[in-house]
Amino acid sequence: MKIAIGSDHGGFLLKDEIMKHLKEKNIDFVDFGCFTTESVDYPDIGQAVGEAVARGEYDKGIICCGTGIGISISANKIPGVRAALCGDCFSAKASREHNDANVLALGERVIGPGLAKMIVDTWLNSEFQGGRHGRRVEKIAKIEEKYRRN
């Protein structure tokens, strides 16, 4: 499994914690930035990680900003991206099992690193259940298709 990970300055420290955690677990990842705590714009990082996942270059993405909101909204603009902002393990599990979420969004100013790491583990270890959930995820793709411009 290969993960694309990214954050703005508001999620930089949480990204760092998560990267250490992934390293400890021998999970492959590539850091899409940012690389310092200097202020950057979260849409740029959400787009970069989202596009890499949508192109199939990475199995999953993890994105962090202050709240997780701006960066998840940005990533979700990319067709094929299903980014789930999670602040608890129940949602993380359901986002994989029901929504086949391929990007996990976290808010550094909302949750602590301990919970964030538990959410990451739960999310990475949960599988899409298909069935009726598959039908619903296909409907999401149809909405994207309806509004796709290029």
User: Is the bond leading into 34 cis (omega within 30 degrees of zero)?
Assistant: yes
Q: Which of 70, 83, 85, 96 binds ligand RB5 (CB under 6 A)?
A: 70
Contact stretch for ligand RB5 (CB under 6 A) within 44-52, 67-75, 90-98, 119-127: 67-75
Taking the least distance from each CB to ligand RB5, the nearer of 75 and 92 is 75
Q: Are 3 and 60 in contact (CB under 8 A)?
A: yes
Give the CA diameter of the chain.
45
Please choose, from the candidates 65, 67, 62, the residue with its C-alpha nearest in 3D space to the C-alpha of residue 95: 62
Residue 10 binding ligand RB5, by CB under 6 A: yes
> Of 34, 64, 65, 86, which residue is the catalytic one?
65
Q: How far is the CB of 109 from ligand RB5 (least distance, A)?
A: 7
Residue 65 binding ligand RB5, by CB under 6 A: yes
Give the x-and-dash track for 34-53 against ligand RB5 (CB under 6 A).
--------x-----------
CA pair distance 60, 9, nearest whole angstrom: 21
Residue 66 binding ligand RB5, by CB under 6 A: yes
Active site residue 65: yes
CB atoms within 10 A of CB 65: 32
Burial of 43 (0-12, 13-18, 19+ CB in 10 A): middle
| Residues touching ligand RB5, count (CB under 6 A) | 8
Catalytic residues: 65, 98
